[in-house]
Amino acid sequence: MPRSTSKMSKSSKFITIQEVIELYHPLALRYFLLAPVNYTTQSHRKLHQKLFSTYIRTVYFGEFDCSGPGANMTYRVPYAREMKQTEADPYLTTSYVDGDDWLLNSLP
């Protein structure tokens, strides 16, 4: 497969976490992480699988109860998964990151 010469940073769908932190309110980081950024085109699926095969085996990319234009799983990378309610429940509160102590206290 020929290597793409286009730069991801020139895409309108690319922004670094550092840029989010510098440019936006801290709460924007939460929305940034929930954005549908793990899209890929069919032509890049095999390349992504090869390059990120270690991550595919060791990292879980899950989403739960999503709606809207970004919720279509058709163009997701192959390692993204839709979570069931029981899988998502532990992550629907702030307790899994001890957020009651620091996250909720940082809200305006």
Residue 84: what are its φ and ψ, rounded to 5°?
Answer: -85, 165
- Model confidence, pTM: 0.41
Q: Cβ distance 33 to 39 under 8 Å?
A: no
Range list of β-strands (E), the chain:
61-63, 80-82
Q: Which domain holds residue 49?
A: 17-80
Nearest Cα to Cα of residue 56 among 75, 76, 74, 80: 80
Read off the amino acid at residue 71. Answer: A
Rounded Cα distance between 60 and 80, Å, is: 7
- What is the average per-residue pLDDT within 6-12? 52
User: Is 59 domain-assigned?
Assistant: yes
Q: Tell me the helices (H) and strands (E) count for the chain, helix number first.
A: 6, 2
pLDDT in tens, 49-88: 666 665 556 667 788 888 887 788 787 777 788 889 998 8
pLDDT in tens, 10-30: 555 566 667 766 776 665 555
User: Is 100 domain-assigned?
Assistant: no
Q: Which two tokens stand for residue 52?
A: 């990120």
Read off the amino acid at residue 10. Answer: K
User: Is 94 domain-assigned?
Assistant: no
User: Is 58 domain-assigned?
Assistant: yes
Domain count, the chain: 1
Rounded Cα distance between 75 and 67, Å, is: 15
